[in-house]
C-alpha cells in the first residue's frame, strides 16, 4: 500500500541485477498517471486519475540499453470509480 509501481519495479531490477524481464500484475491503486501516445504530433497526452482504481491488468517489460540504462514499458487497464 502506498508504493509507486514504476519506482518499485526499477528498484527491484537494480537490486537484483535484472537487465531484462517481463512482468504482469493486478491490484488496487489510489491514483494513476496515464499517458496516451498521439501519433499526429509524436507526443504523449498525460492524465491523472484519482479515486478507487482496480488494476485489472498490468503487463510490460524492462530492457537495458548499451549504457546499462534500464527502460520500463507498461500497459495497464483499470476499473475506475471517480473520487467524490
pLDDT score recorded for residue 80: 85
Name 48's Cβ contacts closer than 8 Å, sequence gap at least 6. Answer: 31, 32, 33, 34
The answer to whether 46 touches 34, Cβ cutoff 8 Å, is yes
Pick the residue with more confidence: 62 or 3? 62
The answer to whether 53 touches 28, Cβ cutoff 8 Å, is yes
Residue 6 clears pLDDT 80, i.e. is over it: yes
What are the tens digits of pLDDT across the range 26-56?
999 999 999 999 999 999 999 999 988 999 9
This prediction has a pTM of 0.78
Amino acid at each position: 500500500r502506498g508504493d509507486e509501481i514504476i519506482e518499485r519495479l526499477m528498484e527491484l531490477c537494480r537490486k537484483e541485477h535484472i537487465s531484462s524481464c517481463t512482468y504482469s500484475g493486478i491490484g488496487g491503486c489510489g491514483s494513476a498517471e496515464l499517458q496516451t501516445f498521439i501519433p499526429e504530433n509524436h507526443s504523449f497526452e498525460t492524465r491523472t486519475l484519482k479515486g478507487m482504481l482496480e488494476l485489472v491488468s498490468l503487463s510490460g517489460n524492462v530492457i537495458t540499453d548499451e549504457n546499462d540504462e534500464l527502460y520500463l514499458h507498461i500497459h495497464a487497464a483499470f476499473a475506475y470509480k471517480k473520487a467524490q
